[in-house]
Amino acid sequence: MSEMLVLIDHSDDGPRKVSLQMLTKARELAEITGDTVAAVWFGPGAADAAPTLGAYGAGKLYHWDSADAYGYVTLPQVEALEYLIDTSEADTLLFASSNHVKDVASRLAIRMEAGVITDVSGIELAEDGRWVATKEVFGGDMITKSTFAEGKLSFLGVSSNAFPAVESNGASPELVAIDIDLTEEAKAAQVVSVEKVAGADRPDIGEAAVVVAGGRGLGSEDGFQLMEQLADMIGAGVGASRAATDAGWYPHRYQIGQTGRTISPTLYLGSGISGAIKHRAGMQTSQNIVAINKDAEAPIFQIADFGVVGDLYKIVPKLVEELEARK
């Protein structure tokens, strides 16, 4: 019997969805192993989030309520987790497989000689007690299973939307405050300021359940106003193909594809995107795919669950109206 740590990824508004998905999965696994699920929260806000974290499966909540946790790059969280793993019975860590959190897991794995598997979409317990992780590689072309070397601490990076988030009526967890003194090394890279971009109130495309995406077929940056209108109606994030970001119609940070973001939403709705392989590598693991394109031969239709061949400027405004009427 040991502890399974779940590193909670959160914004100022509370835990991100992936954190609740991880807790749900951890609870399910802990029922088999008899482990305790312990959430880990860095920065202020732990007490407010505690009831929610408990409801999704956290039996314990370690929190380090210090501005230092995010005042320097990566290492404060590495040092806090190292302290926690050293002083607890933890041998498994679940973390959100997003960019900045992967850095924490990577540095910690080197420090503690742990094994780390990222972008995990399935976790099972093997007969010998080791974790088996499912992971998709080559932009989703290949599905693999991996496991950890014997006796290694196991760090599992969980993909957004890989698991459902299900409440379990769990009680509010026991709160355990930790406090550590950072080393000088941990303060070497200082966060001077945080710049938030416009549109940050829209869900991030990496974690959104629904992503609306636009491409070359939009013809101009004005087309993205239409995409945003549709997205805001259904609570979606907005992404773009590289053709659209390279044309300057939408910022690079929203590019979906081999050199941009990889997304796996429950629904991807692409307009004016032909679905070249370089784009598909970033979105073909989406659970449902809808495509609107004027070219019936566009490759996107080969992977679409629902496709509409036609003029997106006729179809999308009409779709917004139709959805409004069904609300």
Partner 1 sequence: MKVVVPVKRTPDTAGEKVIDADSLTVDREAGESVLCPVNEFSIEEAVRLKEKHGAEVTVLVVGPEEAQPTVRKALSYGLDAGLQITDEAIAGSDALGTARVIAAALEATEFDLVVFGGQSTDARTSLVPAAVAELLGLPSLTYTRYLEVDGETITVHREHEEGWDVVTASLPAVVSVVEAINEPRYPSFKGIMAAKSKPLETKSLADLGVSADEVGAGAASATMYEFAPRPPKEAGTVIEDDGSGAAAAQLADWLVEKKFV
User: Which residues, 35 to 74, sit near partner 1 by CB under 8 A?
Assistant: 73-74
Which pairs with CB-CB distance under 8 Å and at least 24 residues apart come from 296-302?
Answer: 298/273, 298/274, 299/274, 299/275, 300/270, 300/273, 300/274, 300/275, 301/275, 302/275
Question: Which of 110, 171 has the CB closer to partner 1?
Answer: 110
For residue 35, the one-letter residue type is D
Contacts of 175 (CB under 8 A, 6+ apart): 46, 47, 50, 61, 63
| Closest of 236, 224, 234 to residue 263, by C-alpha | 236
Residue ranges in 275-294 that form contacts with partner 1 under rule CB under 8 A: 277-278, 281, 284, 288-290, 292
Among 87, 144, 168, 220, binds partner 1 (CB under 8 A): 144
Question: Which of 110, 177 has the CB closer to partner 1?
Answer: 110
Among 37, 50, 85, 319, binds partner 1 (CB under 8 A): 319
Question: Which of 73, 178 has the CB closer to partner 1?
Answer: 73
Going by their DSSP bridges, the two strands 267-271 and 288-293 should be labelled as parallel
| Coil, helix or strand at residue 54 | helix
295 in contact with partner 1 (CB under 8 A): no
CB contact at 8 A, 268 and 283: yes
Near partner 1 by CB under 8 A, which window of 61-69, 79-87, 172-180, 301-309? 301-309
Q: Least CB distance from residue 275 to partner 1, whole Å?
A: 12
Rg (CA), the chain: 21
Question: Which of 4, 210 has the CB closer to partner 1?
Answer: 210
148 in contact with partner 1 (CB under 8 A): yes
Residue ranges in 106-125 that form contacts with partner 1 under rule CB under 8 A: 106-107, 109-111, 113-119
CB contact at 8 A, 93 and 5: yes
Number of residues that bind partner 1 (CB under 8 A): 99
For residue 118, the one-letter residue type is T
Among 245, 264, 271, 274, binds partner 1 (CB under 8 A): 245
Near partner 1 by CB under 8 A, which window of 34-42, 166-174, 220-228, 306-314? 306-314
Please give the Cα distance from 185 to 76 (Å, whole number): 9
Q: Least CB distance from residue 204 to partner 1, whole Å?
A: 4
H or E element at residue 152: none
138 in contact with partner 1 (CB under 8 A): yes
Residue ranges in 249-278 that form contacts with partner 1 under rule CB under 8 A: 251-253, 255, 258-260, 262, 266-267, 277-278
CB contact at 8 A, 261 and 239: yes
Among 137, 171, 175, 177, binds partner 1 (CB under 8 A): 137
Among 125, 168, 222, 306, binds partner 1 (CB under 8 A): 306
Among 21, 98, 264, 271, binds partner 1 (CB under 8 A): 98
Structure tokens given for 134: 């499912």
Please give the Cα distance from 125 to 95 (Å, whole number): 17
In angstroms, how far is the first alpha carbon of the chain from the final one? 49
Residue ranges in 205-244 that form contacts with partner 1 under rule CB under 8 A: 206-207, 210, 234
